[in-house]
Amino acid sequence: MSYPYQVQTIDEYKAAYDKSISDPEGFWGDIARHFQWKKPWEKVLEWNFKEPSVKWFVNGRLNITENCIDRHLATLGEKPAIIWEPNNPEERVRVVTYNRLHKRVCQFAQVLRNNGVKKGDRVCIYMGMVPELAYAVLGCARIGAIHSVIFGGFSAQSIADRLEDAQATFIVTCDGAYRGEKVIPLKSVIDDALVGNKTVKRVIVYTRTRTAVSMIKGRDVWWEDEMEHAESQVEKEGVVSFPAEEMDAEDPLFILYTSGSTGKPKGVVHSCAGYMVWTAYTFVNVFQYQPGEVHFCTADIGWITGHSYIVYGPLAAGATSLLFEGIPTWPDAGRFWDIVDRHKVNILYTAPTAIRSLMGFGLEPLQGKDLSSLRILGTVGEPINEEAWHWYDEHIGKGRCPIVDTWWQTETAGILISNLAGVTPAKPTYATLPMPGVQPLLVDENGVEVKGNPAAGNLCIRAPWPGIIRTTYGDHERCRQAYFSTYEDLYFTGDGALRDEQGNYRITGRVDDVLNVSGHRIGTAEVENAINMHAGVVESAVVGYPHDIKGQGIYAFVIYQGRAGDPDANRKDIVQTVSRLIGPIAKPDKIQFVSGLPKTRSGKIMRRILRKVAEGESSNFGDTTTLLDPAVVEQIAAGRL
């Protein structure tokens, strides 16, 4: 059995692509019919990019959890939905069948209801990578609450800002999370985030590490107690049920915060139906998933990749999704290969930064690991360099597994540009061709389309695909400004790209002030704001520089007039400040103290010069005549770290 909407040859791809452009409504209507609706849609698509306003499957009604779980029960009930690999390989693996997943999601939905959560309420989820995280996400979707998952690497302050922005009323967390040898005290971070918070009424705490936690009467409750109580409510004479809320196709499904070029993260909002169709369609086609296969996406559910390709996409396709709690280098650098071997993984989807870091350990960790179950490899998050691509191909895929280089963003919900494994050709370092329904184009700085091949420019998309961002939570104008105002009638990605003679796209990286550190988006303005909060800092400017493993490292130029003495100790104070305000993921790799920053007469920092310094350039800074004080450039270059 394959999927009715699975494209299996290059000719089918071309035909699907052509139809998706000439008749998008017919094309997506045919695909959406293969999902379960409570009420069919009246019109497939209504849109304009001016407001912007995008509506897919207008007035259709559904619940995504019925599509991800209930409709599979008759055929796949006893098949694994989730295989959970714990941090410690000696701990027991958990296999969650579709029946079990159904029961747990119904139970958790009941827990939410028992605690007063209603459709449309915002529920913040701050957990480690345990199956309960998936139950929490799906439990929210079951009752129509909007989940906002926050990655475990964000600090209390970051969480507080997100709770405030989303006006969240409910939190689901763990006592702690395992990460290799470390235990991260999640609940204690939540407690800090809640100081001064006025909206959160309830915190539910799942026990993972049995780390000591404070439990506040009337606010904090244990997951285990709540689930036990709910069990008898949802299970009657062996039959489990909890009604799935009837959602409008365009009702919000979740919020996920992401960095942009301003100092404040944006709450990207995705809707129920379009998101479901897009993640399922791209999952089945890009990875050419075959029923029964084990799909292992190594991302964290705190990022969009985990939302779309660990939880929703695979489950909507009735797949088996492997959920891994640990890190790739613990207990040793053979961890991924051990998991592939033991669970007979067929599809491995990871990030270039992970590949580069594992490459550094040589081939020894691969010894004795049987990787023959692998059929497809994938990458996501940043451009993959040639060396890493070939290592992945040769040593992991043994030259016989197609590699899909998947380009997409939090805002796009799922993959937009990628080869389809084994169906359309790969080209190392190229994401290659657009998915059906996606119309990429390149524009110059003036917004004029760069036609013909080869070409280079800023990457835009011409018309909506079902998974496009709908709004930024609580501030629609911000969504318009950030994505739909730079170029008229186009969605602007913020990325630069090249296009070769055959029309293959190669993403070259961000063209705005957003860094990509280990595949994680970090706005330079956010890091600057955090650095500037340090008592001794007058001003700062942050840029990226090439980093062997992380892809980009964070380089901060800081005017510092604080405490004298050991500059390294002062640097550490600044790093600590950033870690407190944003989280460890935003820690600067290098901090250079400078006496001034290269500013134009109008006061704008010339980042291009700082980027050159950070990249190691010592002359050739281009035109510096518009600078207020051109001499500062030489000083900065001379002091480079």
Q: Where are the beta strands (DSSP E) in 524-629?
A: 537-547, 551-560, 590-593
For position 486 contacting ligand WTA by CB under 6 A, the verdict is: no
For position 518 contacting ligand WTA by CB under 6 A, the verdict is: no
For position 260 contacting ligand WTA by CB under 6 A, the verdict is: no
The structure tokens listed for 371 are 């990787």
CA pair distance 520, 527, nearest whole angstrom:
13
Subset of residues 110 to 169 that bind ligand WTA, contact rule: CB under 6 A: none
Q: How far is the CB of 292 from ligand WTA (least distance, A)?
A: 27
Q: 252 or 378: whose CB is closer to ligand WTA?
A: 378
For position 552 contacting ligand WTA by CB under 6 A, the verdict is: no
Site string for ligand WTA, 29-68 (x = CB under 6 A): ----------------------------------------
Q: How far is the CB of 554 from ligand WTA (least distance, A)?
A: 16
For position 320 contacting ligand WTA by CB under 6 A, the verdict is: no
Select from 72, 122, 521, 587 the one that contacts ligand WTA (CB under 6 A). Answer: 521
The structure tokens listed for 385 are 């360099």
Q: 104 or 521: whose CB is closer to ligand WTA?
A: 521
Q: How far is the CB of 384 from ligand WTA (least distance, A)?
A: 7
Subset of residues 567 to 596 that bind ligand WTA, contact rule: CB under 6 A: none
For position 381 contacting ligand WTA by CB under 6 A, the verdict is: yes
Handedness of CA 621, 627, 631, 632 (dihedral sign): negative
Select from 55, 142, 343, 510 the one that contacts ligand WTA (CB under 6 A). Answer: 510
CA pair distance 376, 397, nearest whole angstrom:
8
Helix (H, G, I), strand (E, B) or coil at 226: helix
Compute φ and ψ for 316, nearest 5 degrees: -60, -30
Q: How far is the CB of 325 from ligand WTA (least distance, A)?
A: 21
Q: How far is the CB of 158 from ligand WTA (least distance, A)?
A: 15
The radius of gyration of the chain from alpha carbons, rounded to an integer in Å, stands at 24
For position 495 contacting ligand WTA by CB under 6 A, the verdict is: yes
Select from 63, 305, 529, 570 the one that contacts ligand WTA (CB under 6 A). Answer: 305
Subset of residues 194 to 253 that bind ligand WTA, contact rule: CB under 6 A: none
Select from 383, 397, 434, 457 the one that contacts ligand WTA (CB under 6 A). Answer: 383
Binding piece for ligand WTA, criterion CB under 6 A, among 76-84, 273-281, 376-384, 551-559: 376-384
Q: How far is the CB of 352 from ligand WTA (least distance, A)?
A: 8
Binding piece for ligand WTA, criterion CB under 6 A, among 183-191, 332-340, 381-389, 598-606: 381-389
Binding piece for ligand WTA, criterion CB under 6 A, among 93-101, 198-206, 246-254, 402-410: 402-410
Subset of residues 405 to 444 that bind ligand WTA, contact rule: CB under 6 A: 405-410, 431
**Which residues is 443 bridged to in the sheet?**
449, 458
Select from 96, 507, 515, 558 the one that contacts ligand WTA (CB under 6 A). Answer: 507
Binding piece for ligand WTA, criterion CB under 6 A, among 79-87, 391-399, 401-409, 437-445: 401-409
Helix (H, G, I), strand (E, B) or coil at 395: helix
Q: Where are the beta strands (DSSP E) in 26-121?
A: 43-48, 53-58, 61-62, 80-85, 94-97
DSSP 275-336: HHHHHHHHHHHHS---TT-EEEE-S-TTSHHHIIIIIIHHHHTT-EEEEE-S-TTSS-TTHH
| H/E stretch holding 247 | strand 247-248
The torsion region of residue 482 among left (phi > 0), alpha (psi -120 to 50) and beta comes to alpha
Q: How far is the CB of 296 from ligand WTA (least distance, A)?
A: 17
Q: How far is the CB of 381 from ligand WTA (least distance, A)?
A: 5
Q: Is the preceding peptide bond at 428 cis, omega within 30 degrees of 0? A: no
CB neighbours of residue 557 within 10 Å? 28
Q: How far is the CB of 486 from ligand WTA (least distance, A)?
A: 14
CA dihedral 421, 424, 430, 432 (to 10 degrees): -120
For position 516 contacting ligand WTA by CB under 6 A, the verdict is: yes
Q: How far is the CB of 153 from ligand WTA (least distance, A)?
A: 13
Candidates 565, 567, 563; CA nearest to 594 is 567
Q: How far is the CB of 550 from ligand WTA (least distance, A)?
A: 13
DSSP 251-281: SEEEEEEE--SSSS-EEEEEEHHHHHHHHHH
For position 317 contacting ligand WTA by CB under 6 A, the verdict is: no
The Cα-based distances of 416 to 356, 394, 487 in angstroms read: 24, 26, 19
Q: 110 or 259: whose CB is closer to ligand WTA?
A: 259
Q: Any residues with CB less than 8 A from the CB of 309 and at least 6 apart, and which? A: 279, 283, 295, 297, 299, 349, 414
Q: How far is the CB of 15 from ligand WTA (least distance, A)?
A: 25
Binding piece for ligand WTA, criterion CB under 6 A, among 225-233, 378-386, 392-400, 569-577: 378-386
Select from 52, 494, 544, 553 the one that contacts ligand WTA (CB under 6 A). Answer: 494
Helix runs in 438-537, H state only: 476-479, 524-533
Compute φ and ψ for 463, nearest 5 degrees: -140, 165
Q: Is the preceding peptide bond at 4 cis, omega within 30 degrees of 0? A: no
Helix (H, G, I), strand (E, B) or coil at 457: strand
Q: How far is the CB of 179 from ligand WTA (least distance, A)?
A: 20
Binding piece for ligand WTA, criterion CB under 6 A, among 21-29, 219-227, 301-309, 617-625: 301-309
Summarize as ranges the residues that interact with ligand WTA (CB under 6 A). 258, 303-305, 380-383, 405-410, 431, 493-495, 507, 509-510, 516, 521
